[in-house]
Amino acid sequence: RGVYGYFPCQSEGNSLLIYDPDSLEKSKLQVLQRFTFPRQAGGEDLCLADYFASRASGRIDVVAFQVVTVGPAATQRFEVLQEAGEYTEAYYLHGLAVQMAEAAADYLHGHIRRELGLPPERGKRYSWGYPAIPELEDHQKVFELLPAESALEMSLTSAYQLVPEQSTAAIIVHHPQAKYFNIGTSRIQQLIDP
């Protein structure tokens, strides 16, 4: 299962301002969330905010967010198998559930592309915890924008991990030049230098 939504937005430096859609009609933009993304050290100096229309341009852009999950049954079955000593079967099930979550995320991303009228390969899907946006705290902001808790029965741990584990949250970047990149630091380095 999954949830997704479109929001008006503009970039400002390394930040993406997410506006209340109702505030567009009132001509006074109300910021619902602000996502501040890290900028790549060296290389092309990339940042996800660069892929959206800037506030200075006066144009309003659109961003999509999505959350998908295979639900709690996979985790529950995994735990039952482990308790029974069926480790091989448990790990096969876990791998299948992880792959199903990724397939669901890819399917929903394709659906979003179709709704936006984009070619099948245009844009990218970025998830928190991966090289372009390694920190997980923004999962909380995504949960405030989308009904992941009520519609999908999901939650977050105190470290902002998704529960159930076989789930993903992502920001959809529709820019034709979007590409995957890392911010130039390893996860170990990020933990050492907060």
**Omega prior to 164 cis, within 30 of 0:** yes
Average pLDDT value for residue range 29-37 = 97
Q: Is the pLDDT of residue 187 over 60?
A: no
Q: 3-state class of 63 per DSSP?
A: strand
| 142 membership: H or E segment, kind and range | helix 139-145
pLDDT digits (tens, 9 = 90+) for 6-18: 999 999 999 999 9
Q: Mark residue 153 as left, alpha or beta (left: phi above 0; alpha: psi -120 to 50; beta: remaining).
A: left
pLDDT of 191 above 80: no
Q: What is the pLDDT of residue 193?
A: 57
Share of the chain above pLDDT 90, in %: 88
Q: Which of left, alpha, beta for 85 (phi over 0: left; psi -120 to 50: alpha)? A: left
pTM of the prediction?
0.90
Instruction: Using a pLDDT cut of 70, give the percent of the chain over it.
Output: 95
In a 13 Å sphere around the CA of 9, the CA atoms on its Cβ side amount to 28
Q: For 67-119, how does the pLDDT look when each residue is reduced to its tens digit (9 = 90+)?
A: 999 999 999 999 999 999 999 999 999 999 999 999 999 999 999 999 999 99
Residue whose tokens read 């430096």: 13
| Whether the Cβ atoms of residue 4 and residue 66 lie closer than 8 Å to each other | yes
Report how far residue 146's alpha carbon sits from residue 155's, in angstroms, rounded to the nearest whole number: 12
Which of the four pLDDT bands, split at 50, 70 and 90, describes residue 126? very high
Q: Is 115 exposed, middle or buried (0-12, 13-18, 19+ CB in 10 A)?
A: exposed
